[in-house]
Copies of this chain bind each other. A is one copy, B any other.
Amino acid sequence: MTIEKAKETFLSAVRRISALDAAGNLLAWDQRTIAPPKGLNGRAQVLGAVSAEAFRIKTSPEYREALDRLKGEALDPVFERMAFVARRAFDRDAKIPADVYEKFVVDAQISEAAWGDAKRSDDYGMYAPHLQRMIDYARRFADLWGYAAHPYDAMLDGYESGLTVKDVDGVFGRLRADMVALLREVPRIPALRPAAVPVEKQREIGLYLLAKTGYDLDAGNLYATEHPFSVGIHAGDVRVTTHYRESDPVSSIFSVLHEGGHGMYDQNLGPELRDTNLDDGASMGIHESQSRFWENIIGRSYAFWDTHFATVNRLAGGGLASDARAWYRGVNRVKPSLIRTEADELTYNLHIIIRYELEKEIAAGNLNAGALRDAWNDRYREYLGVQAEKDGEGILQDIHWSDASFGYFPTYSLGNLYAAQFAHALEKELGSLDALIGSESGLGKIGGWLKENIQRYGALEEPGDILVRVTGEGLNASYLTTYLRGKLLAL
In the complex, per-residue mask of A1-38: 1 if CB is within 8 Å of any chain B CB, else 0? 00000000000000110111011101100100011111
Partner of A36, one of B20, B26, B45, B218: B218
**Could you tell me if B23 and A30 are in contact, using CB atoms closer than 8 angstroms?**
no
The answer to whether the Cβ of A216 comes within 8 Å of any Cβ in the partner chain is yes
Nearest neighbor of A51 in chain B, beta-carbon distance? B19
A220: chain B residues within 8 A (beta carbon): 36
In the complex, per-residue mask of A34-62: 1 if CB is within 8 Å of any chain B CB, else 0? 11111111110110011011000000000
**Could you tell me if A38 and B236 are in contact, using CB atoms closer than 8 angstroms?**
yes
The answer to whether the Cβ of A235 comes within 8 Å of any Cβ in the partner chain is yes
Question: How far does the alpha carbon of A26 sit from the alpha carbon of B34 in the complex, in Å?
Answer: 12
**Could you tell me if A26 and B30 are in contact, using CB atoms closer than 8 angstroms?**
yes
The answer to whether the Cβ of A275 comes within 8 Å of any Cβ in the partner chain is yes
The answer to whether the Cβ of A221 comes within 8 Å of any Cβ in the partner chain is yes
Question: How far does the alpha carbon of A415 sit from the alpha carbon of B314 in the complex, in Å?
Answer: 55
A274: chain B residues within 8 A (beta carbon): 42
The answer to whether the Cβ of A234 comes within 8 Å of any Cβ in the partner chain is yes
The answer to whether the Cβ of A237 comes within 8 Å of any Cβ in the partner chain is yes
A45: chain B residues within 8 A (beta carbon): 19, 234, 275
A30: chain B residues within 8 A (beta carbon): 26, 30
Given contact pairs A23-B23, A27-B26, A234 touches B46 in the complex (Cβ within 8 A): yes
In the complex, per-residue mask of A183-201: 1 if CB is within 8 Å of any chain B CB, else 0? 0000000000000000000
In the complex, per-residue mask of A207-227: 1 if CB is within 8 Å of any chain B CB, else 0? 000000000111111000000
The answer to whether the Cβ of A460 comes within 8 Å of any Cβ in the partner chain is no
User: What is the minimal beta-carbon distance from A210 to any residue of chain B, in angstroms?
Assistant: 12
**Could you tell me if A36 and B275 are in contact, using CB atoms closer than 8 angstroms?**
no
**Could you tell me if B53 and A236 are in contact, using CB atoms closer than 8 angstroms?**
no
**Could you tell me if B39 and A233 are in contact, using CB atoms closer than 8 angstroms?**
yes
Question: How far does the alpha carbon of A50 sit from the alpha carbon of B24 in the complex, in Å?
Answer: 11
Question: How far does the alpha carbon of A340 sit from the alpha carbon of B234 in the complex, in Å?
Answer: 38
Question: How far does the alpha carbon of A22 sit from the alpha carbon of B23 in the complex, in Å?
Answer: 10
A40: chain B residues within 8 A (beta carbon): 236
User: What is the minimal beta-carbon distance from A41 to any residue of chain B, in angstroms?
Assistant: 7
Contacting residues of chain A (56-97) with chain B, CB-CB under 8 angstroms:
none
Nearest neighbor of A35 in chain B, beta-carbon distance? B237
**Could you tell me if B26 and A236 are in contact, using CB atoms closer than 8 angstroms?**
no
Question: How far does the alpha carbon of A236 sit from the alpha carbon of B41 in the complex, in Å?
Answer: 8
A217: chain B residues within 8 A (beta carbon): 36
In the complex, per-residue mask of A264-277: 1 if CB is within 8 Å of any chain B CB, else 0? 00000000001100
**Could you tell me if A237 and B53 are in contact, using CB atoms closer than 8 angstroms?**
no
**Could you tell me if B275 and A34 are in contact, using CB atoms closer than 8 angstroms?**
no
Question: How far does the alpha carbon of A49 sit from the alpha carbon of B46 in the complex, in Å?
Answer: 16
**Could you tell me if B50 and A20 are in contact, using CB atoms closer than 8 angstroms?**
yes
A236: chain B residues within 8 A (beta carbon): 36-43
Nearest neighbor of A220 in chain B, beta-carbon distance? B36
In the complex, per-residue mask of A334-345: 1 if CB is within 8 Å of any chain B CB, else 0? 000000000000
User: What is the minimal beta-carbon distance from A148 to any residue of chain B, in angstroms?
Assistant: 40
A52: chain B residues within 8 A (beta carbon): 16
**Could you tell me if A19 and B37 are in contact, using CB atoms closer than 8 angstroms?**
no
A18: chain B residues within 8 A (beta carbon): 49
Question: How far does the alpha carbon of A240 sit from the alpha carbon of B103 in the complex, in Å?
Answer: 40
Partner of A23, one of B50, B221, B234, B237: B50
Question: How far does the alpha carbon of A34 sit from the alpha carbon of B24 in the complex, in Å?
Answer: 17
User: What is the minimal beta-carbon distance from A279 to any residue of chain B, in angstroms?
Assistant: 11
In the complex, per-residue mask of A359-378: 1 if CB is within 8 Å of any chain B CB, else 0? 00000000000000000000
**Could you tell me if B39 and A235 are in contact, using CB atoms closer than 8 angstroms?**
yes
A41: chain B residues within 8 A (beta carbon): 235-236
User: What is the minimal beta-carbon distance from A71 to any residue of chain B, in angstroms?
Assistant: 27
Please list the 4 inter-chain residue pairs (A to B) with the smallest Cβ-Cβ separation, ordered nearest first: A39-B237, A19-B49, A39-B236, A42-B235
Offer 23 A-B interface pairs, CB within 8 angstroms, sorted by A.
A16-B53, A18-B49, A19-B45, A19-B49, A19-B53, A20-B53, A23-B23, A23-B27, A30-B30, A34-B221, A36-B236, A36-B237, A37-B219, A38-B219, A38-B237, A39-B233, A39-B234, A39-B237, A40-B236, A42-B236, A42-B274, A45-B234, A53-B53
